[in-house]
Structure 1
Amino acid sequence: MGAYSYQALDEAGKTVKGMLEGDSERQVRSQLRAKKLKPLSVQSVAGGRKAAAAGGEGLGGMRQRWRAKMSARDLSLITRQLASLVKSGLPLDEALQATAKQQQKPNNKRILLQVRTKVLEGFSLAQALGEIPGAFDNMYRAMVKAGESAGFLAPVLERLADYTQSNQQIQQRLKMAMIYPLVLLFISLSVIIALMAFVVPKLVSVFQQGERELPALTQFLIASSDFIINYGHYTLLVLVALVYGFNRLLRNEARMRRWHQLKLKMPVVGNLILQINSARFAATLALLSSSGVPLLQALRIAGQVMTNKIMQEACEQVAEDVQEGTSLHRSLENSGQFPPLLVQLVASGEANGTLPEQLENAAQDQERELEMMLGVAMGLLEPFTVVFMGGAVCLIVMAILQPIFEMNSLI
């Protein structure tokens, strides 16, 4: 039995869309007619052939195209719902079906029904999730596989739900911390450009009519205003082109690596990137190791959640060193890319046999330090933006008033 998406007309002539399960497209069309719906198209969510049922249209061979991805918030909610249903003793295929029925987004419903179809065909849940890597990453699938192997799928799913929810909250805090300073900076630049383009030309036109030489600051202001008026749109296009070209250059693996290496060396940004990636690494490794995933596999998966190429390579080297017999904390220390606190907590965990707990403590410490760094950085950015705007406006006012003061002194 497979999952099918359909479009049909109801008795009022309105187009309705939805999902149904059936052994074939013909059976799904029969179900639609039984519901007094006139089927327009039926399509397998697994990428089958598209059927047109009305007006004598023939079967189409168009492969389905839909976005097999899911937001972190949706993934957390779905995982928690599935964990509750599995914990209550409901069979996995029925739990997947019940979870799919609760979804309001058609994309999420399709994903879950496709997973259920694979489970009914005899695949394990981890194998079924592997058919949709865009929605369920390597870490997610590895934890599900470990939970299925150990017979503790429901607790593992609950841990996954907590992890995805925590990860989403961290990302949300990062975004919220940056919104206000960035909006303030954007407004400041917009106000300054508006003053230079519309207000300054009208005010300084009086000075340009005289034969007296204007002060250097006023001349610079007039030249800047003329440039913004005449070439501002070209400058904007050049900036957009530079950003686009820079992104194109970063598609090269070697250039991307050099750029990531440069970012790690930046004074404030580098430390921020280090903290973000270290927190992700520690949290992911703690979750995987506590769920029964082998350490080497957990290390390779934890490296994939990092966003910096240099730190990813460091994690791969750590995995190789551990495979050769080096302790985890020694491998982390030798890489030189992980904070000393993380290395010390890992060493303590290895010595006491409490590695997952110490990794969790390290992740929490890294997250707290990250929040403190963000608070300091954003706290400095806000007054800097205010000072920048105030200084720019002050220069504009001085450039306008200076010729007036000189005229008054002559009088």
Structure 2
Amino acid sequence: MPQFIYRAMDADGSIIPGNMDAHNAPDLELRLQRMALDLIDYRETRQRKPLFGSRAVKRRDLINLCFHLEQMSSAGVPLLDGLRDLRDSTDHLRLREIITDLVEKIEGGLQLSSALAAYPEIFDPGFTSLVRAGEQSGKVNEIFRDLAENLKWQDELAAQARKAVTYPAFVLLVVVGVMFFLMIYLVPQLTAFIKNMGQELPFHTRALIALSDFFIHYWYLLLAMPVLLWQGTLWQLRRSERTAFAFDRLLLRIVPVLHKLVMARFATYFALMYAAGIPVLECIRLSEGIANNRVVAAAMRRARELIAEGHGVAAAFRQAGLFPPLVVRMLRVGESTGALDATLRNVAYFYNREVRERIERMQAMIEPAMTVVLGLLLGWIMLSVLGPIYDTISSIRI
């Protein structure tokens, strides 16, 4: 289906740009009319316009979508009517475009899960598989409720991670700015006075002067180095699958909370999909895509292969490695009792709580650590500058 970039006008007379899939120009105009927009001009393009800024569908938009559909389906409102109500009430232009297309696809005979699968960048395979399982079991409202709760958990966890990173990043920026000011402006003035004393300088003072000279002559390298290192790392990760695999393994080792976060995500999604009636092998296959870590995904793939060969679920995950004893133990209990989803929810609860506590402890430790680093930096400068001055004054005889 062609992609059109358009400009339209809403009821208030505001010009709204956008992009949308349509069969032709009349189809584009009809779709915009359903969104209460009047087409002004358009052009066809073969390249899908990337979604940035306010046009990107964020996690909170998906939470609102799931909550709305859960409430509507629980009240007995037909799916199409619920989607039309959401389309007419949302202010998010991109989401309105997507819902308009979903309505058209469902009116054309597709199920909701098949219509959602046309937007894999927004609705991942796990999301669409859960909706498909809900359609088959007649429990779509419960699926949307579980999806909304899971997305809320992810949003809260992301908010905590941002909170834990924002303050240290600000403090680090201030420390770097203070260091540049001291090394480029203040230290040269003080060292010029120290050199005029004519005495031999201690090692830490000479090191400070050398570092200050490096800042003065190569400041552009210091500013460009982090950017070049970051871009080079991203380029190498995209270029080499082996490097990306090794990088993911390194992350799991140096950031322990990341391993627990991946286990929490895996247990949550696995429990949701298994409770919805999705087969175990399919649950594991879909979990590989949401792991966001190649090492964990490879371990899941190995476990899936072992289960397909006839091994038990717990035994397969134990032989695959990487999965903590708690996960394997709870899988064994769930496998023997037939309540695999309940035991995995317990695992998810345990890891969710531990991840939250780890993030809070990290935030509490980073703040004093940054203060100590700044204090040591200032102490080194003061010692290197005032030490020779004090020695000179002490050697003066009155």
Work out whether the TM-score is over 0.5: yes
Deviates more, 1:248-257 or 1:370-379: 370-379
Output the CA distance in 1 between the equivalents of 2:332 and 2:392: 75
CA contact (8 A) 1:147 1:156 kept: yes
Match of 2:131? Answer: 144
Matched, 1:84 2:71: yes
Output the CA distance in 2 between the equivalents of 1:102 and 1:319: 43
Change (3 A) 1:380 1:262: same
CA contact (8 A) 2:5 2:19 kept: yes
Match of 1:197? Answer: 184
Structure 1 residue 248 displacement after superposition: 0.8
String of CA shifts for 1:200-252, please: whole Å, max 9, x gaps.
12222212234333222222212211211111112222332222112111111
SS of corresponding position for 2:109: coil
Matched, 1:254 2:242: yes
- Please, which of 327, 339, 342 is the counterpart of residue 354 of structure 1? 339
5+ residue gaps, structure 2, are none
CA contact (8 A) 1:66 1:107 kept: no
Output the CA distance in 2 between the equivalents of 1:112 and 1:96: 7
Output the CA distance in 1 between the equivalents of 2:14 and 2:337: 66
CA contact (8 A) 1:314 1:337 kept: yes
Change (3 A) 1:257 1:207: same
Output the CA distance in 1 between the equivalents of 2:319 and 2:98: 42
SS of corresponding position for 2:77: coil
Structure 1 residue 182 displacement after superposition: 2.7
Change (3 A) 1:215 1:4: closer
Match of 1:329? Answer: 314
Structure 1 residue 261 displacement after superposition: 2.1
- Corresponding letter in the other structure for 1:375: E
Match of 2:374? Answer: 389
Deviates more, 1:228-237 or 1:61-70: 61-70
Output the CA distance in 1 between the equivalents of 2:124 and 2:19: 25
Output the CA distance in 1 between the equivalents of 2:79 and 2:194: 81
Output the CA distance in 2 between the equivalents of 1:31 and 1:61: 15
- Corresponding letter in the other structure for 2:357: M
Change (3 A) 1:97 1:9: closer
Count of paired positions: 387
SS of corresponding position for 1:307: coil
CA contact (8 A) 1:76 1:165 kept: yes
Percent identity, aligned pairs only? Answer: 28
Output the CA distance in 1 between the equivalents of 2:25 and 2:167: 52
CA contact (8 A) 1:318 1:332 kept: yes
Match of 1:40? Answer: 40
Matched, 1:219 2:206: yes
- Corresponding letter in the other structure for 1:254: R
5+ residue gaps, structure 1, are 42-49, 51-59
Match of 1:54? Answer: none
CA contact (8 A) 1:67 1:107 kept: no
Output the CA distance in 2 between the equivalents of 1:19 and 1:244: 30
Query: Residues 8-407 of structure 1: matches in 2 within 5 Å?
Result: 8=8, 15=15, 25-26=25-26, 39-41=39-41, 50=42, 60-63=43-46, 65-67=48-50, 70-251=57-238, 252-266=240-254, 269=255, 271-407=256-392
SS of corresponding position for 1:123: coil
SS of corresponding position for 2:123: coil
Change (3 A) 1:132 1:204: same
Deviates more, 1:241-250 or 1:128-137: 241-250
String of CA shifts for 1:291-347, please: whole Å, max 9, x gaps.
111111111111211122111100111111122221211112222211211211221
Structure 1 residue 67 displacement after superposition: 4.5
